[in-house]
Amino acid sequence: MPTVTRIFNFAAGPAVLPLPVLEEAQRDLVALPGVGMSVMELSHRSKTFEDILHLAEADMRALAAIPERYKVLFLQGGASLQFSMVPMNLLAPGTTADYIDTGSWAVKAIKEAKRVGSVNVAASTKAEGYSRLPTPGELKLTPGAAYVHMTGNNTIEGTEWRALPPVGDAPLVCDASSDIFSRPIDITKFGVVYAGAQKNLGPSGLTLVILREDLLERSTDALHTMLDYRTHVQNDSLYNTPPTFGVYMLGLTMKWLLSLGGLEAVAEMNERKAGKLYAEIDRTGFYRGTAKREDRSLMNVTFRLPTEALEGAFDTAATKEGLDGLKGHRSVGGMRASIYNAFPEAGVDALVQFMREFERTNG
Ligand SMILES: *Cc1c(COP(=O)(O)O)cnc(C)c1O
Are residues 201 and 124 located together in one domain of the fold?
A: yes
Are residues 87 and 203 located together in one domain of the fold?
A: yes
Domain extent, residue 130, equals 23-259
Are residues 69 and 188 located together in one domain of the fold?
A: yes
| pLDDT 10s digits, 51-88 | 999 999 999 999 999 999 999 999 999 999 999 999 99
Average pLDDT over residues 270-282: 98
Which protein residues are within 6 Å of ligand 1, measured from CB?
Answer: 13, 78-80, 105, 151, 155, 175, 177-178, 196, 199
Are residues 199 and 164 located together in one domain of the fold?
A: yes
E-state strands within 237-338: 288-289, 300-304, 323-324, 335-338
Going by pLDDT thresholds of 50, 70 and 90, the confidence category of residue 4 is confident
Q: Considering the domain boundaries, does residue 162 fall inside one?
A: yes
Are residues 275 and 154 located together in one domain of the fold?
A: no
| pLDDT 10s digits, 199-224 | 999 999 999 999 999 999 999 999 99
Among 71, 199, 273, 327, the active-site one is 199
Rounded Cα–Cα distance for residues 38 and 50 (Å):
15
Q: Considering the domain boundaries, does residue 1 fall inside one?
A: no
| pLDDT 10s digits, 222-238 | 999 999 999 999 999 99
Going by pLDDT thresholds of 50, 70 and 90, the confidence category of residue 3 is low
Statement: residue 363 has pLDDT above 90 = no
| pLDDT 10s digits, 166-192 | 999 999 999 999 999 999 999 999 999
Are residues 99 and 204 located together in one domain of the fold?
A: yes
* Residue 105 alpha carbon to ligand 1 centre in Å: 7
Please, what is the average pLDDT of the chain?
97
What CATH number corresponds to the domain at position 270?
3.90.1150.10
Average pLDDT over residues 26-40: 96
The helix (run of H) or strand (run of E) holding residue 9 is strand 8-9
Going by pLDDT thresholds of 50, 70 and 90, the confidence category of residue 331 is confident
For this structure, is 199 an active site residue?
yes
State the total domains in the chain.
Answer: 2
E-state strands within 134-255: 148-151, 153-154, 159-160, 172-175, 192-196, 207-212
Statement: residue 37 has pLDDT above 70 = yes
What CATH number corresponds to the domain at position 193?
3.40.640.10
